């Protein structure tokens, strides 16, 4: 136990020596020589540690038994040896210590002394040792208030993707030192590495090399790290804002709450104004990280439906029909789905769904930059200029956005980074993308928004829409039209006539609004479904499959509610037995979407699977009125959901199997992509 230093005067309040012989005490056997001249040397530590050392001596003594306090084990020493004991009760207290000297024959002499001891507990003591981020969904998140991680919360997929981060240790030393031990790899964001977020070698000054200290104020619930580059949770979240938009500070102060047993710690930091990063940490060194739960004990053993894919040709029309077309239905994907044999066929006892790249152009590209609020008096406030941490874009209808180097740094825009909007050939006319902002836009002070745009043609309609991310029905929107081709211009969107007063914290942009670009699809694939052919409620599903590996592929084995056509998504519910992305090929995930949790807030989890793309594996879902569980290869349950009658998961669902390309989960498509295939050996339903 660590202690804070303190000066203490040692007071021996009294010494009483009693000599007991076989003649004077009928309880002591009459045998042997009696020890004589018992002396006790007492040393009480003056550093507040509560340590007391007793060195007894006596003539004719073979051993000494030292009793420090009632209930504690006695300490046995011989002549010249020291007995040590550490008192643990905080404060100043007087203790009686009894020393009994024994001769070889059993004679004894006893003495009792009183000592005054001060114990002062170091307020930093609860932190001493190593801590790691809790290896569980939701342990890392950000939102508009403490306890609210609605903007981002790590899920099971993220836990696996960032496994190099969840074994990082944060070490608090008894000497007041603090160390980030990141090992050979940690999770790096683009502002650190200059490339896409991924595991990589730690980058200074946040590489653990800094000499740092810490201080903890339990009454205020604050923890301060001193040393530029020392951090908890994420290096980018500091008190003044987020790196790299602010300077690396010399110290960071966090709000912390320790659990009663001291094994867990909740950490909150307001990064700038109204942006709260939140971490859950637990004591440990990261050596016991595990993913998975208990074995699945199935209650369903009767096979009621299957497709073994043992007849070559098109998939069995009694079991399967097709989704056709482009756009990805809201996920910003790049493929067009077909029923062509080159994209979907049964061959050699396998269903083969193949995504193919044409090598041609992908669609129409626009660029945009410097999205800026403008007040009536001319005052401005920049919403986004893409020079710092890129916003998290979400594409829909077959369009998506990313941040790129400015392809034409001339004219009205010479900045280095800009937004790029890609609207794929065959995308919906309403395709676009959006990003969320940390705080609602002040549309009372600022009634106009200016956006720099670069268009390949004149006359393209650009729609700017402001939404409430919690209520998409609360919005305002304005259109503008490009007037020049292949050069930058500034478009103005005047919202004053709409008198916007809502909560607008989402920025949505549509380029070439109302137009579906024509051209050869850059990627084709297939999506087959059992809708209106086979639908069921409850059961155990097994699908044996081998997955594609190319960057940008996004295969999925999943189900939608049979009432999808009537009530839409997410009201119908969605059960993702298996999702996989080629850009993270050693991980498979499962997800549950329904009105309370959908899209980025879905209930998800994942598990590592190093042979997902080279070997066949069984992907299983057990669906009952009480629970929904997901398993790989009949091993441990990696996601379990408590079902009840309030969810959509108590009526018929149908199967979907597909490969998407790119989009919100698939990510960047390998420029050299030609084709890749998902093979399905069988699909079976037991009830």
Condensed to tens digits (0 to 9), the pLDDT of residues 516-545 reads 887 767 889 999 999 999 999 999 999 999
Residue 17 confidence class, pLDDT cut points 50, 70, 90: very low
143 lies in the same domain as 249 = yes
590 and 661 belong to one structural domain: yes
pLDDT in tens, 480-525: 999 999 999 999 999 999 989 899 999 999 999 999 887 767 889 9
Summary mean pLDDT of the chain: 88
For 459, counting Cβ atoms within 10 Å of its Cβ (0-12 exposed, 13-18 middle, 19+ buried), the class is exposed
Query: Can the peptide bond before residue 505 be classed as cis, meaning omega within 30 degrees of 0?
Result: no
Cβ atoms of 590 and 548 closer than 8 Å: no
Contact in structure between 589 and 605 (CB atoms under 8 Å): yes
106 domain-assigned: yes
Cα 241 from Cα 270, distance rounded (Å): 8
Q: Please, are residues 366 and 431 in contact by the beta-carbon 8 Å criterion? A: no
Q: Same domain for 482 and 369? A: yes
pLDDT class for 360, splitting at 50, 70, 90?
low
Residue 157: predicted pLDDT: 64
Residue 11: the pLDDT is 32
pLDDT at 576: 97
| pTM, two decimal places | 0.54
CA pair distance 204, 201, nearest whole angstrom = 10
77-81, 300-304, 393-397, 402-406 — which is least confidently predicted? 393-397
Of 428, 473, 655, nearest to 564 (Cα)? 655
Q: Would you tell me how many other CB atoms lie within 10 Å of the CB of residue 80?
A: 8
- Percent of the chain with pLDDT strictly greater than 70: 92
Instruction: Give me the number of domains the chain comprises.
Output: 4
Report the distance separating Cα 516 and Cα 433, nearest Å.
15
Last residue of a domain, one of 119, 149, 178: 119
User: How far apart, in Å, are the Cα atoms of 239 and each of 4, 152, 203, 250?
Assistant: 29, 19, 21, 11
d(CA 593, CA 556): 14
255 and 325 housed in the same domain: no
337 belongs to a structural domain? yes
- Short-list 460, 326, 461, 455, CA closest to 398: 326
Q: Locate tokens 């008192």: which residue?
A: 87
**Is 297 among the domain residues?**
no
Residue 296 and residue 637 in contact, taking contact as beta carbons nearer than 8 Å: yes
Residue 13: predicted pLDDT: 32
Instruction: Quote the CA–CA distance of 524 and 300 in Å, as a whole number.
Output: 37
SS3 per-residue string spanning 18-69: EEECCCCCCCCCCCCCCCEEEEEEEEECCCCECEEEEEEEEECCCEEEEECC
Q: Which two tokens stand for residue 63?
A: 């051993």
Give the residue among 371, 489, 373 at the shortest CA–CA distance from 433.
371
Measured CA distances, 556 to 104, 142, 468, 526 (Å): 82, 28, 30, 11
Mean pLDDT along residues 457-482: 94
Query: CATH number, domain at 25?
Result: 2.60.40.10
CATH number at residue 414: 2.60.120
Are 130 and 100 in a shared domain? no
Evaluate whether residue 1 is within a structural domain.
Answer: no
- Is 376 domain-assigned? yes
Q: Within this chain, do residues 347 and 431 fall inside the same structural domain, yes or no? A: no
Residue 158 has pLDDT above 80, yes or no: no
d(C-alpha 494, C-alpha 482), whole Å: 15
pLDDT band at 2 (very low <50, low <70, confident <90, very high): very low
CA nearest neighbour of 527 among 671, 663, 686: 663
Residue 289 has pLDDT above 60, yes or no: no
- Please answer whether residues 83 and 9 qualify as being in contact, where contact means their C-beta atoms are separated by less than 8 angstroms: no
Q: Which helix (H) or strand (E) holds 193?
A: helix 190-193
* HEC string for 347-410: ECCEEEEEEEECCCCCEEEEEEEEEEEEECCCCEEEEECCCCCCCCCEEECCEEEEEEECCCCE
Pair (536, 561) in one structural domain:
yes
Last residue of a domain, one of 492, 511, 530: 511
Residues 31 and 146 in one domain: no
Say whether both 273 and 130 belong to one domain. yes
- Does 237 lie in the same domain as 162? yes
In degrees, to the nearest 5, what angle opens at C-alpha 102 toward C-alphas 101 and 104? 150
Q: Which two tokens stand for residue 682?
A: 């069988």
Q: Are residues 675 and 531 in the same domain?
A: yes
Domain stop point among 232, 255, 283: 283
Residue 96's φ and ψ, nearest 5 degrees, are -100, 130
pLDDT for position 522: 80
Domain with 527 in it: what CATH number?
Answer: 2.60.120.200
Q: How far apart are CA 60 and CA 21, in angstroms?
A: 13
Q: Residue-wise over 291-307: b if at least 16 C-beta within 10 A, else e?
A: beeeebebebeeeebeb
Greatest CA separation found in the chain? 119
Domain annotation covers residue 7: no
Residue 50 in this model has a pLDDT that exceeds 90: no
Structural domain of 69: 12-119
Q: Residue 164 belongs to a domain with what CATH number?
A: 2.40.128
* Residues 76 and 38 placed together within one structural domain of the fold: yes
Residue linked to tokens 């018929």: 652
Residues labelled as active-site residues: 574, 579
């Amino acid at each position: 136990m660590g202690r804070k230093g303190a000066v203490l005067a040692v007071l021996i309040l009294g010494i009483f020596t009693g000599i007991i012989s076989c003649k004077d005490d009928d309880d002591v056997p009459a045998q042997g020589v009696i020890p004589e001249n018992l002396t006790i040397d007492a040393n009480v530590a003056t550093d507040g540690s509560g340590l007391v050392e007793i060195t007894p001596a006596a003539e004719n003594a073979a051993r000494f038994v030292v009793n420090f306090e009632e209930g504690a084990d006695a300490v046995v020493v011989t002549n010249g040896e020291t007995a040590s004991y550490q008192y643990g009760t905080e404060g100043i207290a007087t203790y009686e210590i009894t020393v009994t000297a024994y001769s070889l024959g059993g004679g004894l002499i006893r003495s009792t002394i009183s000592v005054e001891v001060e114990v002062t507990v170091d307020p930093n003591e609860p932190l001493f040792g190593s801590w790691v981020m809790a290896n569980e969904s939701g342990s890392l998140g950000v939102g508009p208030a403490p306890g609210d991680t609605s903007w981002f919360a790590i899920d099971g997929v993220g836990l696996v993707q960032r496994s190099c981060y969840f074994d990082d240790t944060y070490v608090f030393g008894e000497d007041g030192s603090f160390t980030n031990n990141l090992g050979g790899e940690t999770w790096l964001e683009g502002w650190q590495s200059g490339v896409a977020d991924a595991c990589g070698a730690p980058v200074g000054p946040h590489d653990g090399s800094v000499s740092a200290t810490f201080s903890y104020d339990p009454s205020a619930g604050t923890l301060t790290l001193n040393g530029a580059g020392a951090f908890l949770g994420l290096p980018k979240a500091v008190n003044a804002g987020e790196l790299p938009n602010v300077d690396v500070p010399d110290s960071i102060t966090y709000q912390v709450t320790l659990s009663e047993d001291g094994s867990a710690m909740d950490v909150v930091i307001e990064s700038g104004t109204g942006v709260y990063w939140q971490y859950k940490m637990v004591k440990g060194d990261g050596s016991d990280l595990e993913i998975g739960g208990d074995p699945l004990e199935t209650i369903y053993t009767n096979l009621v439906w299957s497709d073994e894919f043992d007849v070559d040709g098109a998939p069995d029309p009694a079991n399967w029909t097709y989704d056709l077309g482009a756009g990805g239905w809201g996920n910003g994907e790049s493929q067009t789905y077909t029923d062509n044999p080159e994209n979907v066929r049964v061959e050699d006892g396998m269903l083969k769904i193949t995504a193919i790249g044409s090598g041609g152009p992908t669609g129409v590209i626009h660029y945009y930059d410097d999205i800026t609020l403008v007040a009536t008096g001319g005052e401005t406030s920049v919403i986004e200029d893409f020079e710092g941490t890129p916003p998290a874009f979400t594409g829909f209808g077959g369009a998506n956005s990313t941040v790129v180097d400015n392809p034409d740094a001339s004219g009205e825009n010479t900045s280095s980074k800009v937004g790029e909007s890609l609207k794929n050939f065959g995308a919906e006319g309403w395709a676009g993308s959006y990003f969320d902002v940390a705080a609602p836009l002040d549309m009372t002070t600022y009634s106009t928004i200016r956006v720099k745009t670069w268009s390949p043609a004149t006359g393209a309609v650009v729609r700017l829409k402001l939404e409430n991310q919690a209520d998409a029905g609360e919005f305002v929107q304005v259109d503008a039209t490009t007037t020049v081709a292949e050069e930058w211009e500034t478009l103005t969107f005047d919202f004053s006539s709409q008198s916007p007063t809502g909560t607008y914290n989402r920025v949505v942009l549509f380029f070439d609004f109302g137009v579906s670009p024509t051209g050869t699809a850059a990627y084709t694939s297939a999506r087959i479904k059992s809708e209106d052919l086979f639908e069921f409620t409850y059961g155990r599903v097994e699908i044996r499959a081998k997955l594609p590996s190319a960057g940008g592929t996004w295969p999925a084995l999943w189900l939608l509610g049979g009432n999808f056509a009537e009530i839409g998504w997410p009201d119908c519910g969605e059960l993702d037995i298996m999702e996989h992305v080629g850009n993270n090929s050693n991980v498979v995930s499962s997800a549950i979407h329904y009105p309370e949790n959908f899209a980025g807030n879905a209930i998800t989890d994942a598990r590592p699977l190093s042979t997902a793309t080279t070997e066949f594996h069984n992907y299983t879902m057990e669906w009952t009125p009480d629970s929904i569980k997901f398993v790989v290869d009949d091993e441990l349950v990696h996601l379990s959901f408590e079902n009840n009658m309030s969810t959509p998961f108590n009526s018929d669902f149908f199967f979907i199997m597909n490969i998407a390309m790119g989009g919100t989960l698939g990510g960047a498509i390998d420029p050299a992509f030609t084709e890749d295939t998902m093979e399905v050996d069988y699909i079976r339903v037991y009830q």
